[in-house]
A and B are shown apart, each in its own frame.
Chain A
Amino acid sequence: MKSANAASRCVVVTGLGAICALGATVAETWAATRDGKSGITEHLFDPGPNGPPPHTTPAALVEGDVVGMLESALGRRVGASLDPFSMFALKCSHEALDAAGLLGSGSLGGAAVVLGHGFAGIHTLEQSYERFYGQKLARVHPLTVPRVMVSAPASAVAMEFGIRGPVFAVSSACASSGHAIAQGAALIGAGGTEIAIVGGSEAIATAACLRAWEGLQAMSPTTCRPFSQGRDGMVIGEGGGAMVLESLDHATARGAKIIAELSGVGLSSDAFHWTQPSLEGAVSAMSAALDQAKARDARRILISTHGTGTPLNDKNEAAAIHSVFGGRAKDHPIIATKSAHGHLIGAASVVQGVIGLMALADGSAPPILNWLGPDPECDLDLVLGEARAIDAEALLLNAFAFGGLNTCLVFRRWA
């Protein structure tokens, strides 16, 4: 069947936003990543008088007064209605729309918002349940539901910027914002909208939630060392990322500065295991994205790996890259920025996408941190030590979530 014109519309990126442990803007985040700075430090998590004793664990948390930053960006009070995961989403969406030249443009009425989150308003949920179960108070805070619901950030962005098109949240654990980007692109491709604000956010660094992650035996007690010998797990991060996607026609007509083309989307499910990845699932998503982008034979592709630093993920991802690229696997520089900003779960894919697009534009690949030495099962062209000059023509952005949900996206540098 011949594809309709609308379904093959070219989708481009015209704005980026980010907030994470490395900075509250794209510029700060990119500079820190490129310069090899780490946002991972030890933090004390105190569950309060009704919980077990406080404990210390590494995490990559957003520094500074988020409410103040948001109020100064929006030029208004933020108020009591937002959980931190909504604040992160608002902050980076504002930055992306501003960068795209769309704030106050009057052209957002029919736009879409698709945001991904692995969890929801965990800070609010934990506080409310602590009152209920811990302090045994029967009444729960009246704003608990709107603060906790997984679609709250999407609603907050729509209300803030007057966006009245398709607005919703998607969830697929660590691939959530990858699916959000894919879904936003699909809406534009199908002709449902010209502009989509896509991305995701996560704020799950609470005393009880971190204990839940530790229970999975996937957390490092030290730090995140992707593809390294002796790697022992992931480190939780927090924050959010946003991209403005537009149809090429719309972006060109308004004279927007185009950052990249989203040229390939590969989505797959392992249908296999809760926490173990499968080679087939990763290979299938990467292959689909590269084939759609016609990039399989590209001379140089910057690969932003899922690279969590767990023994299983990194070994499986390295094998998948070898399987997809064969003898040319080591032609492509490998980055793994979770070693700097931690694992942002639902927001990981988009924040890594923002960093990857900055790397592509800057011609500079940021280093993988905390590497101790080679692991023969991760034999790839790792970018180590310091940033490396690259001449990549495309970015491959991998996300492989618990539960076996995979998104691979290919972005082409815009000439």
Chain B
Amino acid sequence: MATLDDELLDLIAQEALIDRAKLSREATLADIGLDSVDVVSVVFAVEEKYSIEIPEDAFKETANLGQFLDILESLIEKQKS
């Protein structure tokens, strides 16, 4: 079964049109070229898929994809509990 990391990375690849192979926890958002418009798309897809609401400033301090995933996963976990 795919882990939540894998699910989210698949979704990012699909929504932001990024080669899935380039997505790893270590990659910075700048490295993979994820801009603010892409983030809007990804946030929308994640909100829809997991029925969560992501605050507007959730990613203010985010430097790499790992931190981006951690924030999404903690919001998804919170919704579950």
Contact = CB atoms under 8 A, between A and B. Distances in A.
B38 A139 contact: no
A79 B48 contact: no
A139 B44 contact: yes
A143 interface: yes
Nearest to B35: A79
A294 interface: no
A77 B12 CA distance: 14
Interface of A: 67, 76-81, 137, 139, 141-143
Contacts, number: 35
Contacts of B15: 80
A81 B16 CA distance: 8
Given A76-B33, A137-B48, A142 B40 contact: yes
In this complex, the interface size class of chain B, counting residues with CB under 8 Å from chain A, is 10 to 19
A77 B44 contact: no
A140 to B, nearest CB: 9
18 contacts: A76-B33, A77-B17, A77-B32, A79-B16, A79-B33, A80-B15, A80-B17, A80-B37, A80-B40, A80-B41, A80-B42, A81-B37, A139-B44, A139-B47, A141-B41, A141-B44, A143-B37, A143-B41
A112 to B, nearest CB: 25
Contacts of A141: 41, 44
Interface in B3-25: 15-18
B37 A67 contact: no
A71 to B, nearest CB: 9
What does DSSP make chain B's interface, helix, strand, loop or mixed?
A: helix
Contact of A78 (B17, B32, B41): B17
B37 A79 contact: yes
B48 A77 contact: no
Given A77-B33, A79-B35, A67 B17 contact: yes
Given A141-B44, A142-B40, A143-B40, A80 B33 contact: no
A77 B32 CA distance: 8
A139 B37 contact: no
Top 6 A-B residue pairs of the complex, sorted by shortest distance between their CB atoms: A77-B33, A80-B41, A81-B37, A80-B38, A80-B16, A79-B38
Q: Most chain-B Cβ atoms within 10 A of its Cβ — which of A67, A79, A81?
A: A79
Nearest to A70: B17
Q: Most chain-B Cβ atoms within 10 A of its Cβ — which of A80, A81, A137, A141?
A: A80
Contacts of B37: 79-81, 143
Nearest to A68: B19
A79 B17 contact: yes
A139 B43 CA distance: 13
Given A77-B18, A79-B17, A80-B15, A142 B41 contact: yes
Contacts of A80: 15-17, 37-38, 40-42
B55 to A, nearest CB: 15
